[in-house]
């Protein structure tokens, strides 16, 4: 601690207006300070380099080679193939099917889970019931439960003839579909389960965001005669915008990497590959030992995630309805936010 206090004292030396000499005089201290800083940061930096940076780089390297599992013994057999792997992947109809499946999951799943979670968060936030603490816990339960256990139970819930979901639908005279056996219904079933599963996190985030909405604004608006829907649209949502953006980005990234649900629920992508996701296909290719192809797919997925995130920022960042001069400032703020 002594070092850090000592280090803080000469800090003004950095400030403009001083000559070159004092800066030079403080150099040993600065160096000591930076050694200490690197010392503290080293464990993280090292782990980051070994387990995050290097894998990302090596995967990029692998994506431009024809490396397969058999080359592990003979690394000199690995050839540079340029963008061939990417061409192969883009020409693979199964990859496009996986991309379509994943896109379906994201485009339908993200808005649904956002909407449902916001509604539940609003209900919990009003605190109408004394039980809202119980519900907060209840909604969070799926998040902390093991996905494999959950998937096995859901397989029973979704059974064709005597699954609870179809039994309940039957009470209302609806003949439920064969959820996991019908290629048209397998993806909706995945979305149903994913919504149930990821709601908890979003509700907690939204509840925190709702705490930041000043009650005085609502009171003022109510005095002016605004009804609940108007207050939600004009006060709550605009103030919550950063929170909603955060939730959407996080969910979008997560949903693009759909993996465990189809792996467990439909034995890895059935029926008729209707639940084969991009991540699952990457996993399959790694399993076949096609490391080059799998790495190329990983990078395409990475690209998709970047694009989706940029799109969400564009759509959800605050846009000022007032004239242009203000609007330009907003754009600058957007830029720096990124």
Partner 1 sequence: MRKPLRVTVATLAAATTLIALTSCGRSDDAPAEDMSAAPVAEGEATGTITVWAMGTEGEKLGEFADAFSAENPDATVEVTAIPWDAAHDKIATAIAADQTPDVSMVGTTWMGEFASTGALDPTPDTIDGTSFFPGAWGTTIVNDVAYGMPWYVETRVLYTNTAAAEAAGVSPSPATWDDLKTSTAAIQAAGADYGITLQAGQQGAWQTFMPFAWQAGAQILDDEGNITLDTPEVVDALTYYQSFFTDGVAPVDVPVGTLESSLIAGEFGAMVSGPWHIGILEEAGYADFTLSPLPAGEQLASFIGGSNLAVFKNAENRDGAWKFIEWLSQPDTQAAWYEATSDLPSVPEAWETGTLATDPQLAIFGTQLETAVAPPSIPNWEQIATVIDTELEKVTRSGLDPQEAATAIQQQAEAIGTGL
- What are the tokens at 118? 């916001």
The Cα-based distances of 329 to 134, 326, 332, 335 in angstroms read 44, 5, 5, 10
The CB-of-290 to partner 1 minimum distance in angstroms stands at 8
Query: Which lies closer to partner 1 via its Cβ, residue 33 or residue 299?
Result: 299
Alpha-carbon 269 to chain mean position: 21
The CB-of-103 to partner 1 minimum distance in angstroms stands at 16
What is the CB neighbour count within 10 angstroms for residue 109?
23
The CB-of-102 to partner 1 minimum distance in angstroms stands at 13
Query: Which lies closer to partner 1 via its Cβ, residue 135 or residue 283?
Result: 283
The CB-of-187 to partner 1 minimum distance in angstroms stands at 16
The CB-of-253 to partner 1 minimum distance in angstroms stands at 5
Query: Which lies closer to partner 1 via its Cβ, residue 125 or residue 257?
Result: 257
Q: CA-to-CA distance for 119 and 252, rounded, in angstroms?
A: 19
Torsion of CA 325, 330, 334, 336, to 10 degrees: 80
271 cis-preceded (ω within 30 degrees of 0) = yes
The CB-of-77 to partner 1 minimum distance in angstroms stands at 9
Q: What pairs with residue 80 in β-bridges? A: 65
The CB-of-159 to partner 1 minimum distance in angstroms stands at 6
The binding site for partner 1 (CB under 8 A) comprises: 51-52, 54-59, 61-62, 67-76, 78, 143, 155, 159-160, 178, 181, 183, 198, 201, 250-251, 253-255, 257-260, 266-268, 270-273, 279, 282-284, 286-291, 294-295, 298, 301-302, 305
Exposure string (b/e) for 273-311, b if CB count within 10 Å is 16 or more? bbbbbbbbbbebbbeeebbbbbbbbbbbbeebbeebbee
Q: CA-to-CA distance for 237 and 110, rounded, in angstroms?
A: 17
Query: Which lies closer to partner 1 via its Cβ, residue 103 or residue 181?
Result: 181
How buried is residue 336: exposed, middle or buried, by Cβ count under 10 Å (0-12/13-18/19+)?
A: exposed
Query: Which lies closer to partner 1 via its Cβ, residue 154 or residue 210?
Result: 154
Query: Which lies closer to partner 1 via its Cβ, residue 176 or residue 254?
Result: 254
Query: Which lies closer to partner 1 via its Cβ, residue 161 or residue 224?
Result: 161
């Amino acid at each position: 601690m002594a070092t850090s206090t000592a280090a803080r004292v000469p800090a003004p030396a950095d400030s403009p207006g001083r000559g070159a000499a004092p800066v030079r005089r403080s150099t040993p201290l600065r160096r000591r300070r930076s050694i200490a800083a690197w010392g503290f940061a080293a464990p993280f930096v090292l782990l980051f380099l070994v387990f995050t940076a290097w894998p990302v780089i090596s995967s990029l390297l692998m994506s431009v080679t024809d490396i397969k599992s058999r080359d592990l013994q003979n690394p000199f057999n690995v050839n540079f193939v340029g963008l061939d792997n990417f061409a192969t992947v883009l020409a693979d109809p199964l990859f496009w099917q996986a991309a379509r499946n994943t896109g379906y999951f994201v485009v339908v799943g993200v808005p649904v889970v956002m909407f449902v979670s916001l509604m539940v968060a609003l209900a919990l936030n009003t605190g109408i019931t004394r039980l809202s603490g119980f519900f907060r816990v209840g909604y969070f339960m799926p998040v902390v439960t093991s996905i494999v256990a959950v998937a096995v139970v859901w397989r029973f819930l979704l059974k064709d003839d005597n699954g609870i979901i179809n039994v309940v639908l039957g009470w209302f005279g609806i003949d439920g579909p064969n959820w996991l056996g019908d290629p048209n219904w397998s993806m909706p079933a995945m979305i149903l389960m994913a919504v149930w599963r990821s709601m908890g996190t979003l509700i907690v985030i939204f509840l925190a965001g709702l705490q930041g909405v000043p009650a005085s604004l609502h009171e003022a608006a109510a005095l002016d005669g605004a009804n609940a829907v108007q207050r939600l649209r004009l006060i709550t949502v605009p103030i919550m915008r950063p929170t909603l953006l955060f939730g959407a980005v996080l969910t979008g990234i997560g949903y693009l990497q759909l993996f465990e649900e189809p792996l467990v629920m439909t034995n890895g992508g059935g029926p008729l590959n209707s639940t084969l996701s991009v991540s699952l296909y990457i996993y399959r290719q790694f399993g076949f030992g096609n490391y080059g192809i799998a790495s190329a797919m990983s990078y395409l997925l990475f690209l998709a995630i970047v694009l989706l995130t940029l799109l969400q920022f564009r759509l959800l960042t605050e846009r000022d309805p007032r004239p242009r001069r203000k609007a330009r400032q907003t754009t600058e703020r957007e830029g720096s936010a990124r």
